[in-house]
Amino acid sequence: MNMKPGHISAHSQHTHSATAVTIHTSRMVYLPQHTLTVSVRSSRAFMGLLLHARSVTEDRVVRGQFTLHPPGTHTLSCLSTADTVTHSEKLLKRNLSFTWRAPAQPSGDLRFYITVVHSYFVYWTRIHSAVVHDGTRKIPTEHDAGQIRMVSGNTPQRFSSHDPIQKFILNTGLNICNYIVDFFSLRCF
């Protein structure tokens, strides 16, 4: 599955200097059936989007489900029910929040990917979130922390002491921060 718009003569942008799109998630670790808030923020308004979760190791769509999405968007069922979100109107968008429920079975580490369409001819593809770790697998150790530590404006990630996974991470002394979004190419039929 790719995430490239089917517009005639559309051109993928290879630089993100014209737009800064970030994807933030409410959790860095998830368990089956957990819900996450997925927030998309852009410094420049855009018309269209395509958003879904993908496995880090296999680069395949994860069978989670978007349960809440803002007006002007709707879900698609690419591999499973409501596993993808897209726009339903061309009104300009800048900041959007979605609720995603993890599948009932463990799915491995994942990232959320988005294609953002600025105009009929200009789009950015494969913008992704930081890794959201599968909590049913090995919990990251302090040694692993250097591999998952990411920053965005040097603002530490705020954890809720009510979440048992976040409590574990806090108690082990891991220093997990917000993240930087990277850009890659991705297509969707």
Contacts of 159 (CB under 8 A, 6+ apart): 166, 167, 169, 170
* Mean pLDDT for the stretch of residues 52-69: 96
pLDDT, position 176:
32
Mean pLDDT, all residues of the chain: 75
Strands 35-46 and 93-101: antiparallel
pLDDT, position 35:
97
Distance of CA 69 to the CA centre of its chain: 14
Nearest Cα to Cα of residue 95 among 16, 152, 41, 56: 41
Tens of pLDDT, residues 158-180? 334 454 444 444 443 333 322 22
List, as one string, the DSSP characters of 127-157: EE---BEETTSPPP-HHHHHHH---STTPBP
Which residues on adjacent β-strands are paired with residue 110?
Answer: 55, 132
Residue labelled with tokens 């009510």:
162
CB contact at 8 A, 103 and 61: no
Query: Top-level CATH class of 11-136?
Result: mainly beta
Domain parsing of the chain, residue ranges: 11-136
Q: Report whether pLDDT(16) > 70.
A: no
Q: Report whether pLDDT(32) > 80.
A: yes
CB contact at 8 A, 78 and 189: no
Tens of pLDDT, residues 98-154? 999 999 999 999 999 999 998 878 888 899 999 999 999 975 555 544 443 333 333
